[in-house]
Amino acid sequence: QQIVISGVGVWTPEHRITNQELVESYNAWADDYNQTHSEAIDAGELEAKPHSSAEFIEKASGIKQRYIYQKEGALDIKRMRPAIKERADDQLSHQAEIAVEAAKKALAEANKDASEVDAVIVSCAYTQRAYPAIAIEVQESLGIEGFAFDMLVACSAATFGMHRAYEMLHAGNARCVLVINPELVSPQINYTDRDSHFIFGDVATATVLEHAETARAEHVYDILSTKAVTKFSSNIRSNFGYMTRAQDVDPYGPDKLFHQAGRKVFKEVCPMAAEHIAEHIARHALEASDIRRWWLHQANINMNTLICKRLLGRDANADEAPIVLDEYANTASAGSVIAFALHHKDLQAGDHGVLCSFGAGYSIGSLVIKKRG
């Protein structure tokens, strides 16, 4: 039974923050902090906060701007976090809303009606609550019969979600599955941390997976196989969770937000990802030069350059390995799906491609796909 990807959709927030805006806000916050704590800093009890730089951000990461769900509050130096109003229980939640928007786009691309979908997976780095599942709320909003559930795999949530859909379709548990990645990450960003304030942006992506015989879309991709690996590491971590209340700790402390040892992640994950991909394509007797397009995780442009170089023995060009980081920044698990959504229609029948995520966990997930004729 051939399983295919028949639709992909991206919902992009209307608000954006440029590196310059972000840096101006951070630097004003740092000046204010340094002034407020000048005595302790002068006494050597506290370290002064150094300035951030837009040039550094672009050079170190490839990021020029990021989208944000709610810009208000995020750049306010008295707040440094987005101001998102809580919604009543009978209103569509924020995360479900952006998930529904992405899902509608993916369904339209797949030329599918919600009534043909049997299962919904919401898979992302964070869900805004534990239960009821965001996926069930989305299912209800779209009028889908069947079942839905949430899953969290940080950077690899999108690919791992597609893996689960692939297996459910193979097992005959569903005829068509919607996998949605509402990456509403801005509430977890520490905008007062110079090392990480620039990394992330908000977005929602969705894909439709189904059996080849039911697919009616213009662009359909056979999934040849999936491959996943995880290896525990605390180098990318957030300690916020339902235990926080019982632990009598500051719920907004820096360790409760996204934090990482970026250099270590870079050094450890690049070789893991390159090896993983090489092994995966070898399963199909494919060489790196046989791959028409690489839709890689979008965390850092230098990481993608290095991984491609290891695979191809040379630099990949933007047509082979598209980058969306400059516009979207790191969108947790959604990056490779955005790259796929924006850069797949020109592929010819028979062309091979690789979708691959890598990051927190550590987790690596890939799909080798081939365009149908």
Cβ closest to ligand CO8, residue 53 vs residue 111: 53
Active site residue 176: no
Judged by CB under 6 A, does residue 60 bind ligand CO8?
A: yes
Where in 196-235 is the site for ligand CO8 (CB under 6 A)? 198, 200
Nearest CB to ligand CO8, comparing residues 166 and 358: 358
Beta bridge partners of 326: none
- Does residue number 324 form part of the binding site for ligand CO8 (CB under 6 A)? no
Q: Is 194 an interacting residue with respect to ligand CO8 (CB under 6 A)? A: yes
Q: Does 321 bind ligand CO8 (CB under 6 A)?
A: no
* Residue located via tokens 């040039």: 55
Q: How far is the CB of 348 from ligand CO8 (least distance, A)?
A: 31
- How far is Cα 178 from Cα 8, in angstroms, rounded to an integer? 10
Half-sphere exposure of 49 (CA within 13 A, CB side): 21
Q: Least distance in Å: CB of 8 to ligand CO8?
A: 20
Q: What does each C-alpha distance from 348 to 110, 219, 340, 370 come to in angstroms? A: 18, 10, 14, 9
Least Å distance between CB 301 and ligand CO8?
Answer: 9
Beta bridge partner(s), residue 119: 147, 177
Choosing from 155, 176, 270, 356, the catalytic residue is: 155
Cα–Cα dist 292/369, whole Å: 10
Q: Which stretch binds ligand CO8 (CB under 6 A): 9-17, 48-56, 79-87, 274-282?
A: 48-56
HEC profile for 320-353?
A: CCCCCHHHHCECHHHHHHHHHHHCCCCCCCCCEE
Quickly count helices (H) and strands (E) in the chain: 10, 13
User: What is the smallest separation between the CB atom of 265 and ligand CO8, expressed in angstroms?
Assistant: 4
Residues 120-159 that bind ligand CO8 (CB under 6 A): 125, 154-155
Query: Which H/E stretch holds residue 370?
Result: strand 363-371
Question: What is the C-alpha to C-alpha distance for residues 2 and 170, in angstroms, rounded to an integer?
Answer: 8
Which of the stretches 104-112, 193-201, 276-284, 363-371 binds ligand CO8 when contact is defined by CB under 6 A?
193-201
Q: Would you say 109 or 193 has its CB closer to ligand CO8?
A: 193
Task: Report in angstroms how near the CB of residue 48 gets to ligand CO8 at its nearest.
Answer: 13
Q: Which of 61, 95, 207, 363 binds ligand CO8 (CB under 6 A)?
A: 61
CA triple 106-116-369, angle to 5 deg = 50
H or E, element range at 169:
helix 157-171
H or E element at residue 356: strand 352-359
Asked if 239 interacts with ligand CO8 (CB under 6 A), we say no
Contact 209, 177 (CB under 8 A): yes
Based on CB atoms, which residue is closest to ligand CO8, 32 or 195?
A: 195
Q: And the tokens for 75? A: 């750049």
Residue 149: its H or E element: strand 147-152
Q: How far is CA 338 from the centre of its chain?
A: 9
Would strands 147-152 and 119-124 be described as parallel, antiparallel, or unpaired? parallel
What residues numbered 268-297 form the site for ligand CO8, per CB under 6 A?
none
Q: Least CB distance from residue 14 to ligand CO8, whole Å?
A: 20
Nearer to ligand CO8, 194 or 227 (CB): 194
Rounded to a whole number of angstroms, the minimum distance from the CB of residue 189 to ligand CO8 is: 5
CB of 66 to ligand CO8, least distance (A): 11
User: Strand pairing of 176-183 and 119-124?
Assistant: parallel
| Residue 75 binds to ligand CO8 (criterion: CB under 6 A) | no
Residue 111 CB: number of other CB atoms within 10 A? 14
Residue closest to ligand CO8 when measured from CB atoms: 262
Residue with smaller CB distance to ligand CO8, 353 or 359: 359
When asked if residue 188 is in the footprint of ligand CO8 (CB under 6 A), the reply is yes
Q: Which residues bind ligand CO8 (CB under 6 A)?
A: 52-53, 56-57, 60-61, 125, 154-155, 185, 188-189, 194-195, 198, 200, 236, 258, 260, 262-263, 265-266, 299-300, 303, 330, 332, 359-360
Residues that are catalytic: 155
